Chain A
Amino acid sequence: MTTYYTEDHEWIAVEGGTATVGITDYAQAQLGDIVFVELPAPGTNVAKGGEAAVVESVKAASDVFAPVTGTVSEANGALEEDPALVNSAPEGDGWFFKLALADPAELDGLMDAAAYKAFCDSL
């Protein structure tokens, strides 16, 4: 499994043709207490850079963009009951949705963990 990162602070972990998407630890710390996550329904087609989910804290609503193009295969139902998972385990149990990749070549433009850390340090 390989994990990539975007400049919009999404992570995408790829295994075969399937990817899991969430927001990074840096992002959850910036957002504060997450109170609600609006997830795409399975079967939804999302385009790279397009709005795929919404994450809400008490005072802010932020769009989560699809890091790559694909079709949503599963949404993390656990977030409906317990949105705090995004704060406690952003890159684990707090994942948002899974995607069937349309074009694995799109992953090439994304950052690896080291590059993303350097990116955050520069902010």
Chain B
Amino acid sequence: MSMNSEGRVTRPETLAAADAPATFTGNRALMLEEALIFERDDYARTGVDIAEAPATSSRLGGLERHRAIGLPGLTEPEAVRHYTRLSRQNYAIDLGLFPLGSCTMKHNPRLNEKMARLPGFADIHPLAPVDTVQGALAVIDELAQWLVTLTGMHAVAMSPKAGAHGELCGLLAIRAAHDAAGSDRSMILVPESAHGTNPATAAFCGYKVENIPATADGRVDLDALTARLGPDVAGVMITNPNTCGLFERDMKRISDAVHAAGGYVYCDGANFNAIVGRVRPGDLGIDAMHINLHKTFSTPHGGGGPGSGPVVLSAALAPYAPLPFVAKQPDGSFRLIEEETADQDHPGSFGRMSAFHGQMGMFTRALTYILSHGADGLRQVAGDAVLNANYVLRSLDGLLDAPFGPSGPCMHEALFSDDGLAPGFTTLDIAKGLIDEGFHPMTMYFPLVVHGAMLIEPTETEGKAALDQFVGALRSVAERAKAGDEALKAAPAFAPRRRLDETAAARKPVLVWKDETLPQAAE
């Protein structure tokens, strides 16, 4: 025989992973540690080749910068590696189910990204002559028409830059309407289950805020609300479907009562994805509602923005909408209504709330998503989102306490409490246990009306197999928390970092890199 003497072992040795020694680099195979850009000695390097500036006189007025700025540079291969390594320390929808209640982490279609990057949209200036951007104005108008029709409202303000900015827009319209009527109402009523942005927004534009209690079944207490209405109440802010994942059955009666008392109804539309194509807020008497394009219409969350928060308005509030906006001409062309012609075209406007026209890049993505789904698909989106949430809710029957579970189906998210966990075990332990199971945790400790709240929103872009695996993992983790399994307290064990000391971060805030203040990077 001709013998090959280079035989290798092709079966694994049976050494336990825990016995493996620490590595020289601190890396663990694909789990790679990455230093800060400031911890490298790269202040002279650059990843951009820039033509040499021709010799001209300086016109900087003697303000030339002499002191070093302190900006490290990386060449392209180094930069690509740095940010790719960082990216791998993030969980993402692209990796798995992301059941953050109220946040709506659904799949982000890539066609949206491709369309937003067409130079005709991405490479146009906000102050370009209007004749040269007719296609962009057409996108804004087409999306606006969809939003108005889907919500059954009268008009839409497109410029708000995020949900909370949309709330601000709605409340400013309400204030402007009261001002125009010579009324100085000063109070906004907010249910205690509301997103924190609601009272913050009301205060930001000069209103006082009062809470309205919830009923035992997790909805606004209509009687308490009605009793509080009066000549000082400018309006109410209601989230519907609400933050407990329930539809406010009395919404129309709430609206009627508020209107009868001379107030306006603001709806926080964060959960519009549960009812899109099935219920029109305009039919419920709502005067203003923001739509988070990054929730219902799938523009990416991007690690915390940018968002986009167009606000649909009733006929009563439309005259006060902000500048600028797009108007369609009889000949089919578009023009921008700005300060210049506002006196004639839109005299009631409360003014401008951002420098330009809003989040154009999000408009192109949202319109792409809407056209992909169509009226029929959007209706199915809401149906599947609600179906998935109810499937999770019922699959956990008898395991986790669902305070409003017995009262009937939920909408697009299922709410649980920490009731029944072993002493010393909390919602946080379940959340961190889910991380080890390969899932992003649910929303925790919100809404505040439920103790140790766990709010689960699977969204419509999860299939049954994914839901079954998630339910199985949650059952396993919840059972450990109920049994008092101390090992759960150490979770997560397999993430890039273990539990972090938020107390230390807040007591001695270190918000920028300084050589002497930081511990060394993990090597």
Contacts and interface: CB of A to CB of B under 8 A. Distances in A.
Please tell me whether chains A and B touch each other in their complex, using a CB distance cut-off of 8 A: yes
Interface of A: 33, 35-36, 56, 58-59, 83-84
B503 interface: yes
B506 interface: yes
A34 to B, nearest CB: 8
B502 interface: yes
A104 B507 CA distance: 36
Nearest to A83: B507
A33 B506 CA distance: 10
Interface of B: 445, 502-503, 506-507
Nearest to A33: B503
Secondary structure dominating the interface of A: loop
Nearest to B507: A35
Nearest to B502: A58
A83 B506 CA distance: 10
B452 to A, nearest CB: 13
A83 B507 CA distance: 7
Given A35-B507, A58-B503, A58-B506, 11 more contacts: A33-B503, A33-B507, A35-B503, A35-B506, A36-B506, A36-B507, A56-B506, A58-B502, A59-B445, A83-B507, A84-B507
A35 B501 CA distance: 12
A36 B507 CA distance: 7
B504 to A, nearest CB: 9
B203 to A, nearest CB: 14
Nearest to A32: B503
9 contacts: A33-B503, A33-B507, A35-B503, A36-B506, A36-B507, A56-B506, A58-B502, A58-B506, A59-B445
A59 B502 CA distance: 9
Q: Which 3 A-B pairs have the closest CB atoms?
A: A35-B506, A33-B503, A58-B502
B19 to A, nearest CB: 36
A33 B503 CA distance: 7
A55 to B, nearest CB: 12
Contacts of A58: 502-503, 506
A83 B508 CA distance: 10
Contacts of B506: 35-36, 56, 58
A58 B507 CA distance: 9
A109 to B, nearest CB: 27
B451 to A, nearest CB: 14
A84 B504 CA distance: 10
A74 to B, nearest CB: 23
A4 to B, nearest CB: 30
A50 to B, nearest CB: 17
B423 to A, nearest CB: 16
Contacts of B503: 33, 35, 58
B433 to A, nearest CB: 20
B57 to A, nearest CB: 52
A59 B446 CA distance: 12
A117 B506 CA distance: 31
Contacts of A59: 445
